[in-house]
Amino acid sequence: MVVLSKPCLDQFPLVKACRPSIFFPGIPVIDLSKPDAKTLLVKACQEFGFFKIINHGVPMDFVSRLESEAIKFFSLPQSEKENGGPPDPFGYGNRRIGPNGDVGWVEYLLFNTNPESIFQRCLTVFRENPEIFCSAVNDYIAAVKKMACHVLELLAEGLMIQPRNVFSKLLMDENSDSVFRLNHYPPCPELQELSGQNLIGFGEHTDPQVISILRSNNASGLQISLRDGSWVSVPPDQTSFFINVGDSLQVMTNGRFRSVKHRVLANSPKSRVSMIFFGGPPLNERIAPLASLMKEGEESLYEEFTWSEYKQSAYKSRLADNRLGNFMKK
């Protein structure tokens, strides 16, 4: 990330500090090894659309290997990082998010998760040592995807719907349109101090996919929006995973599960590094409420669409837009 000699405040979105240093104690924590996990998962998806997973089974060695590769990448000279950009939407991006003018105090690498495109991406972004970087990314994605599918299967069981892979099969499909993102939020105490406010690292939004699995280092910044619209700060935990419901899962459950609005403040005195797997359906998949879940006489809240149509519409939107709004039945 280019360090600005004179902080130019007006270029970056800020938010009035709502005491972000106070952490919200109410984030559901779900132990995947316990028998009540499925019930608690369903409850968390309904109430928050967000929860923390412990005893997740993802080897911590995969996590730390990828974290150190990511730090190596983000520490490269700016000109070298730019070889991997601008994002199309995949590749290296710096401060610009998406194609429609959103900005944030963040730099990132965005990958399509198909193994061939991961390899090509690693070749262009990490010329020094593409193999090591590439195997760290692949191992991490494989382990996290397995955990995501396990969570989705527990959710199907908790909702008492069959087959138990109704959700997870979307991610397991060889054409699954999943995305992987590495984010780096450099600390920026000067800008913070100058404005007396919080710099936005990644502005408020919901994720369009089915489910998102986030892991970050021990730096704070993540906030979620509660049902009453208030923002609360999520206490960081580098040994756990945070999971959020995406728009597609909200639709498949006909609004029972909540696609949670979230954002990241770049307010930590430390660099924040996060890695997020966005589990998405195949492009031609029809996204609609599951018949097995609908009560008698219940109608879909949404117009019919395919994942490809939803994605096209998402890429025309601004980050904070209510993307599902375009697909709600009038």
What mask, x for binding ligand GA4 by CB under 6 A, covers residues 287 to 316? ---------------------------xx-
Q: Which residues contact 110 (CB under 8 A, 6 or more apart)?
A: 87, 89, 90, 91, 93, 179, 180, 181
- Which residue out of 121, 263, 272, 323 is catalytically annotated? 272
Q: Within 105-144, which residues bind ligand GA4 (CB under 6 A)?
A: 110
- The answer to whether residue 269 forms part of the interface with ligand GA4 (CB under 6 A) is no
Task: Please tell me the distance from the alpha carbon of residue 167 to that of residue 177, in angstroms, as a whole number.
Answer: 14
- Interacting span for ligand GA4 (CB under 6 A) from 56-64, 97-105, 150-158, 256-264: 97-105
Of the pair 156, 264, the CB lying nearest ligand GA4 is at 264
Counted residue by residue, the chain has a size of: 330
Instruction: Find the shortest distance in angstroms from Cβ 247 to ligand GA4.
Output: 9
Q: Is 179 an interacting residue with respect to ligand GA4 (CB under 6 A)?
A: yes
Contact between 319 and ligand GA4 per CB under 6 A:
yes
Q: Which two tokens stand for residue 5?
A: 């000699």
Q: Does 177 bind ligand GA4 (CB under 6 A)?
A: no
- Which residues, at least 6 apart from 298, have a Cβ–Cβ distance to it below 8 Å? 254
Q: Closest distance between ligand GA4 and the C-beta of residue 146, in Å? A: 21
Q: Cα separation of 223 and 234, whole Å?
A: 6
For ligand GA4, which is the closer residue by CB, 37 or 242? 242
State how far the alpha carbon of 120 is from the alpha carbons of 45, 267, 274, 282, in Å.
36, 34, 22, 21
Give residue number: closest CB to ligand GA4.
98
Is 121 among the catalytic positions?
A: no
CA 273/CA 209 separation, integer angstroms: 21
Say whether residue 86 binds ligand GA4 (CB under 6 A).
Answer: no
| Measured CA distances, 82 to 2, 87, 108, 232 (Å) | 11, 10, 11, 34
Check: CB of residue 227 under 8 Å from CB of residue 204. no
Q: Is 98 in the site for ligand GA4 (CB under 6 A)?
A: yes
The residues in 200-229 that bind ligand GA4, with binding defined as CB under 6 A, are 205, 207-208
CB-based contact 311:177 (threshold 8 Å):
yes
Active site residues: 272
Residues that bind ligand GA4 (CB under 6 A): 89, 97-98, 100, 102, 110, 179, 181, 205, 207-208, 278, 314-315, 317-319
